[in-house]
Amino acid sequence: MPWYVLYTKSRNEKVVAEKLRLRNIDVFCPLIKTKRKWSDRVKIVEEPLFRSYCFVNLEDHQRAQVFDTPGIVRYLYWLNKPAIVRDMEIVTIKHMLNEVDHDLIQLETFSPASQVTITSGAFKHTEGSVINQQGKNLSLYINSLQMVVKIDLSKNQVSV
* CATH code for the domain of 18: 3.30.70.940
Q: 54 and 112 in one domain?
A: no
% the chain with pLDDT above 70: 91
Q: 66 and 16 in one domain?
A: yes
Q: 7 and 67 in one domain?
A: yes
User: Is the pLDDT confidence value at 76 over 60?
Assistant: yes
Report the distance separating Cα 44 and Cα 35, nearest Å: 4
The answer as to whether 91 is a domain residue is no
Sequence-distant (≥ 6) Cβ neighbours of residue 111 within 8 angstroms:
131
Q: 18 and 62 in one domain?
A: yes
% the chain with pLDDT above 90: 41
First and final C-alpha spacing in the chain: 35
The stretch 46-50 carries a mean pLDDT of: 90
151, 138 Cβ separation under 8 angstroms? yes
Q: Mean pLDDT lowest for which of 38-47, 49-58, 74-83, 104-113?
A: 104-113
Q: 141 and 67 in one domain?
A: no
Nearest to 5 by CA among 84, 60, 80: 84
Nearest to 149 by CA among 127, 61, 80, 30: 127
The answer as to whether 95 is a domain residue is no
The answer as to whether 148 is a domain residue is yes
In this prediction, residue 108 carries a pLDDT of 36
In this prediction, residue 126 carries a pLDDT of 83
In this prediction, residue 106 carries a pLDDT of 52
**Cα-to-chain-centroid distance, residue 17:** 15
**What CA–CA distances, in Å, run from 38 to 27, 102, 137?**
31, 20, 29
Range of 107's domain?
Answer: 103-159
Each residue of 81-139: pLDDT tens digit? 999 999 999 998 898 888 877 665 654 333 446 778 888 877 788 888 888 877 667 78
Single residue among 57, 85, 113 that ends a domain in this structure: 85
In this prediction, residue 154 carries a pLDDT of 67
> Is the torsion defined by CA of 57, 58, 64, 66 positive or negative?
negative
Which is higher by pLDDT, 57 or 102?
57
